[in-house]
Amino acid sequence: MSCADEYAPQLRARGYRMTPQRLAILHVLHHSGEHLSPAKVYEKALVELPSLTETTVYRTLEFLAENGLVHPAHMGSGHLVYQIAGHDHHHLKCRVCGSEMEVEHALLTDLYKKLERTSGYHLTDSHLTFFGVCPDCQ
Amino acid sequence: MSCADEYAPQLRARGYRMTPQRLAILHVLHHSGEHLSPAKVYEKALVELPSLTETTVYRTLEFLAENGLVHPAHMGSGHLVYQIAGHDHHHLKCRVCGSEMEVEHALLTDLYKKLERTSGYHLTDSHLTFFGVCPDCQ
DNA sequence: CCTGTTATTGCAACTTTTTGCAATAAGGAG
DNA sequence: CTCCTTATTGCAAAAAGTTGCAATAACAGG
């Protein structure tokens, strides 16, 4: 199943269009699997679509995030990185060496329930990044 | 107790210096209580210290955050805001109307313990922002 | 109170991200 | 296949944030 076949219907269903730009960006994120900065996405996507603009990358990433096809995450200080939507997870990052590990969302379900009870909010997605010191650096 | 008296010793103890710039910025954050964007901090601090530079504001906020005098928080999309260090808390933000509420850190202690057990990390500070839909918007 | 060390600032240039607007093209309708 | 609507893109300019480096000024010590 190609990226186009997989993602185009998801966009059409919401009244949006699949374009070469969006496809290229989704393709990059899909095959990388990693979280990438806008600059990295631009660099990689440029190979398959040389006419691509940085402006478009920024706008597309934000658009895809709003529509749940990619997950934005706050890394380090204030800069966003994006990752193709897959399983729900969060990140745990070491303040010392910078290494990261994934945290299954399952670990947070209790907390989410508690928060919904006490706040009245209905919690939607949220990608969280926890900070700490990893075993190697302690 | 003035801002200077309160914060200068904290900096000196770590080998850093108290300067008019840092004082002005701390003063603004202290009396606002709210979380402010770097631009807002600059705007307000300029009143008491007209020679202040934006560069210095950015650098000072990052510096103060590293030393625990202020807490950085990721708001909305990727932009950092800062708040004077006070009680430990997190934020819960409505995706629809944008309103926010604070979440006591106490609610997260169980989760933190669980994370430390399963990951081996030692969790330090981390300001989290959860997203959801508030009661009014549901 | 003066002196020296070095943390801190300001400037200027640069990188990253955002925005307005006119031109383009995706995709449903005929 | 062609036309039409309007979502989407690219360009250019602005705004936001970062960095290197020389000049400045905290503040410890004499």
Q: Which residues of B touch A128 (CB under 8 A)?
A: 128-130
Q: Distance of CA B59 to CAs B41, B46, B56, B63, B104, Å?
A: 12, 15, 5, 6, 29
β-pair type (A89-94, A129-133):
parallel
Q: Which residues of A touch B116 (CB under 8 A)?
A: 132
Secondary structure, 3-state, B101-119? EEEEHHHHHHHHHHHHHHH
pLDDT in the model for residue B19: 96
Report the distance from CA of residue B100 to the C1' of nucleotide C28 in Å, as an integer.
Answer: 41
Please give the Cα distance from A133 to A97 (Å, whole number): 8
Q: What is the pLDDT of residues A27-59, one digit of tens each?
A: 999 999 888 999 999 999 999 999 999 999 999
Give the nearest partner residue to B121 out of A115, A124, A134, using CB atoms: A134
pLDDT in the model for residue B1: 61
Determine, for residues B78 and A77 on separate chains, whether the beta-carbon distance falls below 8 Å: no
pTM of the model: 0.78
pLDDT in the model for residue B109: 85
Cβ pair B52, B46 in contact under 8 A? yes
pLDDT in the model for residue B87: 66
Please give the Cα distance from A81 to B117 (Å, whole number): 27
Does residue A95 carry a pLDDT above 80?
no
Residues in contact with B22: Cβ distance below 8 Å, sequence separation at least 6, in sequence order: B7, B11, B60, B63, B64
Residues in contact with B70: Cβ distance below 8 Å, sequence separation at least 6, in sequence order: B26, B29, B61, B64, B82, B83, B84, B85
Residues in contact with A33: Cβ distance below 8 Å, sequence separation at least 6, in sequence order: A83, A84, A86
Q: For the residues B51-58, what does the mean pLDDT come to?
A: 97
Report the distance from CA of residue B41 to the C1' of nucleotide C8 in Å, as an integer.
Answer: 19
DSSP B38-74: HHHHHHHHHHH-TT--HHHHHHHHHHHHHTTSEEEEE
Q: Is A41 helix (H, G, I), strand (E, B) or coil?
A: helix
Q: How far is CA A104 from the centre of its chain?
A: 15
pLDDT in the model for residue A135: 86
A100-104 β-sheet, strand order? A100-104, A89-94, A129-133, B122-123
Report the distance from CA of residue B1 to the C1' of nucleotide C16 in Å, as an integer.
Answer: 41
Q: Which residues of B touch A79 (CB under 8 A)?
A: 78
Tokens of A46: 């440029």
Residues 12-41 of chain B sitting with CB below 7 angstroms of strand D? 12, 17-20, 37-39
Q: Which residue is nearest to nucleotide D16 (CA to C1')?
A: B39
Does residue A66 carry a pLDDT above 80?
yes
Tokens of B25: 């910025």
Cβ pair A105, A88 in contact under 8 A? yes
Amino acid at B31: H
Q: Which residues of B touch A38 (CB under 8 A)?
A: none
Q: What is the pLDDT of residues B14-33, one digit of tens each?
A: 999 999 999 999 999 999 98
Determine, for residues A110 and B115 on separate chains, whether the beta-carbon distance falls below 8 Å: no
Give the pLDDT band (50/70/90) at residue A87.
Answer: low
pLDDT in the model for residue A91: 82
pLDDT in the model for residue A100: 79
Determine, for residues A78 and B80 on separate chains, whether the beta-carbon distance falls below 8 Å: yes
Cβ-based interface (< 8 Å): residues of B facing A: 62, 72, 74, 77-80, 92, 94-95, 101, 103, 107-108, 110-111, 114-116, 118-126, 128-135, 138
Give the pLDDT band (50/70/90) at residue A75.
Answer: confident
Task: Give the angle subtended at the CA of A8 by the CAs of A2 and A10, to the nearest 5°.
Answer: 115
**DSSP label of A122:** E
Report the distance from CA of residue A55 to the C1' of nucleotide C2 in Å, as an integer.
Answer: 57
Is B64 or B107 the better-scoring residue by pLDDT? B64
